[in-house]
Amino acid sequence: MAATFASRCSRVGRSLFGGLSNSSPGLFTKSHEMTCGNYFSQQRTFIQMRTVLKVVDNSGAKQVMCIQALKGKKGARLGDTIVASVKEAHPNGKVKKGKVVYAVVVRAAMQKGRCDGSQVRFDDNAVVLVDKQGQPIGTRVFGSVPHELRKKKHVKILTLAGHIA
């Protein structure tokens, strides 16, 4: 694995400079570090169309796929409402597979800046299913929920959550 990684990086470095020899090692090494350093890094982006999200309430759905972000052109961030389709569901849940639902993003992998200068970022993308009025479908919310939802007027989700980050 490491060997193929190194060979890929060296090929990329050489292709950038058109077969540059080792006569100028400083320039080649800098390019080599830039191309290899970002090879395995994961780009964290907005929640957009066809993004699969985890459902963290007891509404019956396990996974949903985003159909449309209701706010913003680029996509949804923390606290935004999306339209989603249920992809996996528990057999005895309130929502069934294939149903189109509204959901509020409660955890996002993309970082969001806070007023005090700190930044909040989660490991996964997660949502809570809501109805058209914004009331949660489930009666419990699992995992941590950021307090930024208070600004977006999702206070009911905060009261159902066990841990507020």
**For 116-147, how does the pLDDT look when each residue is reduced to its tens digit (9 = 90+)?**
999 988 999 999 999 999 999 999 999 999 98
Is the confidence at residue 57, as pLDDT, over 80?
yes
pLDDT for 31 equals 41
- The region of weakest confidence among 3-12, 80-89, 132-141 is 3-12
Cβ atoms of residues 158 and 149 within 8 Å: yes
- 45: confidence class by pLDDT, cuts 50, 70, 90: confident
**37-76 in b/e burial notation, b at 16+ Cβ within 10 A?**
eeeeeeeeebbeeebebbbbbbbbbebbebeebeeeeebb
Three-point CA angle 59, 105, 67, nearest 5°: 85
The CA distance from 9 to 30, in Å, is 12
Tell me the average pLDDT across 84-111: 95
pTM beyond 0.85: the answer is no
Three-state SS letters, the chain: CHHHHHHHHHHHHHHHHCCCCCCCHHHHHHHHHHHHHCCCCCCCCCECCCCEEEECECCCEEEEEEEEECCCCCCECCCCEEEEEEEEECCCCCCCCCCEEEEEEEECCCCEECCCCCEECCCCCEEEEECCCCCECCCCEEEEECHHHHCCCCHHHHHHEEEEC
Cβ atoms of residues 130 and 153 within 8 Å: no
pLDDT for 42 equals 66
Tell me the average pLDDT across 44-73: 93
51-164 CATH choice from 3.40.50.11270, 1.10.10.10, 2.40.150.20, 3.40.50.10320: 2.40.150.20
pLDDT for 36 equals 43
